[in-house]
A and B are shown apart, each in its own frame.
Chain A
């Protein structure tokens, strides 16, 4: 059974810092891995999608990497801003059964 873990569960950093959010998965047979952002009381917004054949994807100040062999993905946020405060979720699409399995998220707070 695939398990997706995100550590830490919560993180507070001063504005302007670069930071890394971690996502690990137990089953490397994934089709892709997707990072989402969720603001309180809102839905999920897709940030980045990495196919299993890719190593990283970039969008603006965000960079996501994928290492299938070690079962890890990271989301790098450069020059953090208070508007980046949200919960960040990673999700793995499984090859075997097409399920999308989520981690529990990292709640990020950027201090002004």
Chain B
């Protein structure tokens, strides 16, 4: 049982490049979330989705876009990466507001 899988695990980008982080869950969960974790700041919600085809802004959405075309996948896009987006990104999913399960994270460095 894979649970929540994030791809890639590590990435280095140059300023201005774009990339997409993929989160996949095999638990048929409705809710999915993207967070970033920075030292001293804790986990901050970027965007989230409460079902296929829906997305909503979290606390720090600027500079990111998301899509939920399929129920099992939640994509996080960076159109023009900036050094301030250097962080560890975590994806989570839950079934209708119950226990949330997290992926192992993606460590992104923007140089």
A residues with a Cβ closer than 8 A to B are 31-32, 34, 36, 42-46, 49, 89, 91, 93, 97-105
Contacts and interface: CB of A to CB of B under 8 A. Distances in A.
Nearest to B92: A100
Which interface class (under 10, 10 to 19, 20 to 34, 35 or more) fits B? Answer: 20 to 34
Nearest to A105: B42
A36 B103 CA distance: 13
Contacts of A44: 90, 92, 102
Interface of B: 31, 33, 35, 40-45, 48, 50, 56, 58-59, 90, 92, 94, 97-105
Closest 5 CB pairs of A and B: A104-B42, A44-B102, A102-B43, A43-B104, A49-B99
Contacts of B43: 89, 91, 102
Contacts of A101: 45, 59
A100 B45 contact: yes
Main secondary structure of the interface of A (DSSP, over half): strand
22 contacts: A31-B97, A34-B99, A34-B100, A43-B105, A46-B101, A46-B102, A49-B98, A49-B99, A89-B42, A91-B100, A93-B97, A97-B56, A98-B50, A98-B56, A98-B97, A99-B48, A100-B33, A100-B45, A100-B92, A100-B94, A101-B59, A102-B35
